[in-house]
């Protein structure tokens, strides 16, 4: 990334109301998975509502490098000409995942059983992120994977014969679960994965959409290797994690109401709604009838007085990507909010616990950084200068803080917002935020 690119910033003026209707772009998690499964399916997969972001385009470019023909009639439509389970070929160079943690970890599972070698790299942020918790179960299946001190580059040595395993996840992680399930497609026998707490189940739902037979029983999912995938049509709903910023803005400042249309409301993703409702939020979920594999709804949010809560730990995995936005709600609420059991936030694009504690402190909010969470004393937010640490969700969260701030907020290093939500500034302005980028 060039120096000029990395120095991009937002300047956000205080506002007192957001309102209207908007629609956020397609779900990033579903877009990644649709491309990958489409690449190893037989026949054509058409993806509608694809997220045209840097992260998803990194997955698309990697699949093309692996020999998959992909057309893009427009920015949100993709046609993937699947090569079947045995059709991928060795890439001529390392596969660059950019900033996409989901992509690199899922590709580890997808490539673990291939007959050729692969190397996965990324940008400076991704090259610092831990990969061993994915590599470890894949090695138990027989994969030959090397990392450097547990981090990328990830080198996958081909020709390994994968064997099914029964794996109990030590921590709740949809990325680890998904990587093991993707590898299981190429393994001999029946693989089972058991998780300690529910995590997003997009991979399981999508595998079934591609014709894969799997069994779900409580916290366990089982999948027999060797099954073919059939191309299909995918409708990608709006990304709940992107909607989260506007949900929080609406809870704080939508006195006349704010509606976010066509949002994916998979129950393994919507812990934020439960947490905000515990705080007193006024959120109405209007489900679309006849939705396909992924439930879809319009969300209608009205401002309401919020109060601090102790977040139940069972909700943490269901809201792991939404915590930066949630912490803004906690900062503007009356009283204390306590989050524990969220140590996973320390190994995202940044240490999100430390980054949010630092930023909230700069806005005048009393905040205690815990080993696995935050204790936030709600209060009046001043303005100030925020370092996003190159983390897209930190940047967008503090932009939303402007609806409760008394003075302007300047947010540094916001270029990586394009990895997940390139339209964020425009949609934020449409909802009433005064954001300059």
Domain boundaries for CATH 3.65.10.10 within the chain = 3-26+238-436, 28-235
Indicate the pTM of the whole model: 0.93
The residue among 9, 129, 105, 74 whose CA lies nearest residue 417 is: 9
Give the HSE-up count for residue 125: Cα atoms under 13 Å, Cβ half-sphere: 24
Calpha distance 199→49 (Å, rounded): 23
pLDDT of res. 191: 98
Q: Are 188 and 116 in contact (CB under 8 A)?
A: no
Instruction: Show the tokens assigned to 80.
Output: 């993937």
The CATH number fitting domain 28-235, selected from 3.65.10.10, 3.40.1160.10, 3.30.479.30, 3.40.930.10: 3.65.10.10
pLDDT of residue 4: 39
* Per-residue pLDDT, 293: 83
Q: Could you tell me which CATH number the domain at 3-26+238-436 has? A: 3.65.10.10
- 222's CB contacts (< 8 A; 6+ apart) are 190, 191, 192, 193, 214, 215, 216
Three-state DSSP at 72 gives: strand
Q: Which of 52, 96, 298, 321 is catalytic?
A: 321
352-360 contacts, C-beta under 8 A, 24 or more apart: 352/323, 352/324, 352/391, 352/393, 352/394, 355/387, 355/388, 355/389, 355/391, 355/394, 356/323, 356/324, 356/327, 356/394, 356/397, 358/387, 359/386, 359/387, 359/388, 359/394, 359/398, 360/327, 360/331
Profile the chain (437 residues) by mean pLDDT over runs of 10 residues.
59 97 97 98 98 97 98 97 97 97 98 97 96 98 98 95 97 96 98 95 96 96 98 96 98 98 96 98 94 89 98 95 98 98 94 98 98 98 97 98 98 94 96 96
- As a whole number of angstroms, the distance between CA 329 and CA 252 comes to 7
Q: Tell me if residue 321 is catalytic.
A: yes
Q: What is the pLDDT of residue 291?
A: 64
């Amino acid at each position: 990334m060039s120096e000029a690119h990395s120095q991009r910033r937002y300047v956000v003026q205080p506002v007192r109301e957001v309102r209207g209707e908007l629609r956020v772009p397609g779900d990033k998690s579903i877009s990644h998975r649709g491309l990958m499964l489409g690449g190893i399916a037989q026949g054509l997969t058409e993806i509608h509502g694809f997220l045209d972001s840097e992260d998803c385009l990194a997955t698309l470019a990697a699949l093309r490098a692996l020999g998959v023909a992909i057309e893009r009639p427009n920015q949100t439509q993709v046609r993937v000409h699947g090569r079947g389970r045995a059709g991928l070929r060795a890439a001529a160079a390392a596969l660059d995942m950019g900033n996409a943690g989901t992509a690199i970890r899922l590709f580890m599972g997808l490539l673990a059983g291939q007959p050729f070698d692969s190397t996965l790299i990324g940008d400076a942020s991704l090259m610092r992120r831990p990969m061993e918790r994915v590599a470890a179960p894949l090695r138990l299946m027989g994969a030959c994977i090397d990392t450097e001190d547990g981090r990328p580059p990830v080198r996958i040595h081909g020709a390994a014969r994968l064997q099914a395993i029964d794996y109990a996840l030590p921590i709740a992680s949809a990325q680890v679960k998904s990587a093991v399930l993707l590898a299981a497609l190429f393994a001999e026998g029946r693989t089972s994965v058991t998780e300690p707490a529910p995590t997003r189940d997009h991979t399981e739902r999508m595998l079934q959409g591609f014709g894969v037979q799997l069994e779900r029983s409580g916290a366990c999912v089982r999948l027999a290797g060797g099954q073919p995938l059939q191309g299909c049509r995918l409708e990608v709903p709006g990304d709940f994690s992107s909607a989260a910023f506007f949900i929080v803005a609406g809870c704080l400042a939508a006195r006349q109401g704010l509606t976010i249309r066509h949002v994916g409301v998979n129950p393994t993703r919507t812990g934020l709604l439960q947490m905000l409702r515990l705080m007193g939020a006024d959120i109405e979920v209007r489900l679309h009838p006849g939705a396909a594999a992924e439930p879809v709804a319009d969300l209608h949010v009205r401002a309401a007085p919020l109060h601090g809560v102790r977040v139940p730990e069972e909700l943490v995995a269901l809201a792991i990507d939404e915590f930066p936005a949630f912490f803004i709600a906690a900062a503007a609420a009356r009283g204390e909010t306590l989050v524990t059991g969220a140590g996973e936030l320390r190994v995202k694009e940044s240490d999100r616990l430390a980054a949010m504690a630092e930023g909230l402190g700069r806005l005048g909010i009393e905040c205690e950084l815990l080993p696995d969470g935050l204790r936030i004393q709600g209060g009046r937010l001043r303005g100030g200068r925020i370092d996003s640490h190159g983390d897209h969700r930190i940047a967008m969260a503090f932009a939303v803080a402007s609806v409760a701030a008394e003075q302007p907020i300047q947010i540094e290093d916001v270029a990586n917002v394009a990895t997940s939500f390139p339209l964020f500034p425009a949609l934020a302005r449409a909802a009433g935020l005064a954001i300059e980028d």
